[in-house]
Amino acid sequence: MGRPQITGFSIRVGGSAPDLPRLSMVAGQLTPVSTSDGGVTWSGWAVTDGSAPTIAGDGVGVLLAGELYHTAALRTAIGSAADGVRTGAELLLACWLRYGTPGLRLLDGRFAAVVVEGGTVVATTDHAGTVPLYLRWGTDAIELATEAKALVGGCHGGLPVPGTQLAPGLPRVRRIQAGTAVTMVPETGFATAIRTWRPPMHRIVLPEDVAIARVTAVLDEAVRSRVDGRRATVVLSGGIDSSSVAALAHGVGALAESVSLGTDAGDEFPAARIVATHLGTRHAEFRIGAEDLVRQLPWAVAAAEIVDPDVLEYLLPLVVLYRALPGDGRHILTGYGADIPLGGMHRGARRLDSLDEVIAVDMSTFEGLNELSPVLAGVAGHWTTHPFWDRAVLDLLTMLEPGLKRRHGRDKWVLREAMRGLLPETTVHRPKLGIHEGSGASSVWTSMLLGAGVAAVDVPAVKRSVAIALHERVVGRAEAPEDVSFEEVLREVVAN
């Protein structure tokens, strides 16, 4: 089983114990949380592999969903208190006992966590908020959950809290910001926040060979740390990003299988096959009808909990692929997110000043898009992790001066060069193709709207309205996505 011990939770600090939560995450079993560690009473539910959901020691209670990476260095820093520590939660506890709240800046991983001590509650995300964490501070309790839908329905709370932002479409639910730890004292109502990470704004200048070597090393380490003895599935398009991850996972003997999604409107099967053949690894293709893919939008909205139709077009094919995969509890690596620090989406940005500007903007606006959320695969029982958003990879790629990203007429130049020895020449040079383009997700959604009588000029606005209407049902009312019909929602939107 490739999943972490805990993959999600919905808890309440103070007040009465909550009912069974409305979580989409099925990657594990719902286990009750009930404790008074840390000087407060907290209760609720965690999605676990059967392990105890919380741990406690020296008056501190910890709940951690997700996993920590690069833990050897952290153990060294903590010293003998880390001896015998096995799990991420235990390591967090040991780190906390040595460093306190600022120690959360040492943690490197994919997680959302709650730490309680002395009547104080601290809610924290990883550097990039890759495991979303939501908060509702009501009159009698603080509620925290890894899915917003678990917190809707209450009539109180939702006051501004430092380090949080409103979740889309939900007036009383707030999202803890990426790279942030929010400290709350339920008894007094006091709240404050610290940043644990920020995207770098400066750029470093390196000789070509040094930059290439650093990118190779840091990405290799990110993949090693993520597989950590497990066998992984790679979602592979044959583009440079996922092919890099597949090659590195294979290099450490951890690539169990690569998988590709295609539809009757388009696929990247030949490109992915070239990579799998080159590596000599097992590969599987899944083809579904493009309209059936679009009909699964309620699943994508329920998992991502967003209303942005462009982002939903990227995430939909992945959610559909995760749902199509046989087996339970796969450990999945993706190539998702490389384009943000490398500016890969901005193929038209010819000048380096505009390339760096869009990178700076994208790195400061990724929050809340939930593109890396584990719930996307968690709805199908799997766990994902994204080496390109490893903290050290993200730092390095963001910091590299833009001339290393667009060079000799190529986009993502430094990554392509770093992978030259591991991948076929055609893959190294393959132009970027977005997941929403390769699968036809964008174009088929558009043609379904046109078929329903929407004028071409109105398509973007209607896509947004459909996303909002779906969100209202599968998040706002926490309806099960299998009970929500895309076509019915589309008809209602068009009729209004």
260 near ligand ATP (CB under 6 A): yes
Let me know if 425 is a catalytic residue.
Answer: no
Please state, in angstroms and as integers, the Cα–Cα distance from residue 366 to each residue in 130, 225, 340, 374, 456, following that order: 10, 24, 9, 16, 28
Q: Which one of the spans 175-183, 239-247, 273-281, 365-373 is the region binding ligand ATP (CB under 6 A)?
A: 239-247
Q: Select the binding partner of residue 216 from ligand ATP, Mg ion, none (C-beta < 5 to 8 A, by kind).
A: none
432 near ligand ATP (CB under 6 A): yes
Residues 414-433 that bind Mg ion (CB under 5 A): 433
- What backbone torsions phi and psi does residue 91 show, to the nearest 5 degrees? -70, -40
Q: What distance in Å separates the CA atoms of residue 45 and residue 311, rounded to the nearest whole number? A: 29
> What is the dihedral sign for C-alpha 98, 101, 106, 112?
positive
**Contacting residue, 335, 381, 424, 440, with ligand ATP by CB under 6 A:** 335
> What is the dihedral sign for C-alpha 225, 230, 231, 237?
negative
Q: What distance in Å separates the CA atoms of residue 128 and residue 477, rounded to the nearest whole number? A: 28
Q: Which residue is nearest to Mg ion (CB)?
A: 239
Q: Select the binding partner of residue 242 from ligand ATP, Mg ion, none (C-beta < 5 to 8 A, by kind).
A: ligand ATP
**Contacting residue, 87, 125, 225, 237, with Mg ion by CB under 5 A:** 237
Give the closest residue to 385 by CA, choosing from 370, 369, 366, 372.
372
The one catalytic residue in 99, 367, 432, 472 is 432
334 near ligand ATP (CB under 6 A): yes
- The answer to whether residues 392 and 343 touch, using CB atoms and an 8 Å cutoff, is no
- Minimum separation from the CB atom of position 349 to Mg ion (A): 18
Residue type, 20: L
Give the closest residue to 63 by CA, choosing from 30, 35, 26.
35
336 near ligand ATP (CB under 6 A): yes
Let me know if 143 is a catalytic residue.
Answer: no
Give residue for tokens 């709805």: 379
- Minimum separation from the CB atom of position 348 to ligand ATP (A): 15
Alpha carbon 421 to chain centroid, angstroms: 29
Q: Select the binding partner of residue 261 from ligand ATP, Mg ion, none (C-beta < 5 to 8 A, by kind).
A: ligand ATP
The one catalytic residue in 291, 371, 412, 417 is 371
297 near ligand ATP (CB under 6 A): no
Give residue for tokens 């908020």: 129
How many chain residues are in contact with ligand ATP, going by CB under 6 A?
Answer: 23
Count of residues in the chain:
496
- Minimum separation from the CB atom of position 33 to Mg ion (A): 40
Q: What distance in Å separates the CA atoms of residue 386 and residue 458, rounded to the nearest whole number? A: 35
- Minimum separation from the CB atom of position 412 to Mg ion (A): 11
Q: Show Cβ contacts of residue 199 under 8 Å, excluding neighbours closer than 6 positions.
A: 363, 364, 394, 398
Strand duo 42-48 + 55-57: pairing: unpaired
- Minimum separation from the CB atom of position 280 to ligand ATP (A): 19
Let me know if 371 is a catalytic residue.
Answer: yes
Helix and strand numbers, DSSP H then E, in the chain: 18, 18
Closer to Mg ion at the Cβ: 43 or 243?
243
**Contacting residue, 14, 17, 434, 468, with ligand ATP by CB under 6 A:** 434
Closer to ligand ATP at the Cβ: 87 or 237?
237
Q: Which residue is nearest to ligand ATP (CB)?
A: 239
268 near ligand ATP (CB under 6 A): yes
Tokens of 48: 């676990």
Tokens of 220: 């290799």
Alpha carbon 350 to chain centroid, angstroms: 30
**Contacting residue, 438, 440, 476, 481, with ligand ATP by CB under 6 A:** 438
**Contacting residue, 53, 129, 132, 239, with Mg ion by CB under 5 A:** 239
The one catalytic residue in 336, 405, 417, 463 is 336
- The answer to whether residues 108 and 391 touch, using CB atoms and an 8 Å cutoff, is yes
Closer to ligand ATP at the Cβ: 436 or 473?
436
Residue 394, classed as helix, strand or coil, is helix
Tell me which residues touch ligand ATP (CB under 6 A): 235-237, 239-242, 260-261, 268, 318, 321, 334-336, 339, 344, 432-435, 438-439
Active site residues: 336, 371, 432
Tell me which residues touch Mg ion (CB under 5 A): 237, 239, 433
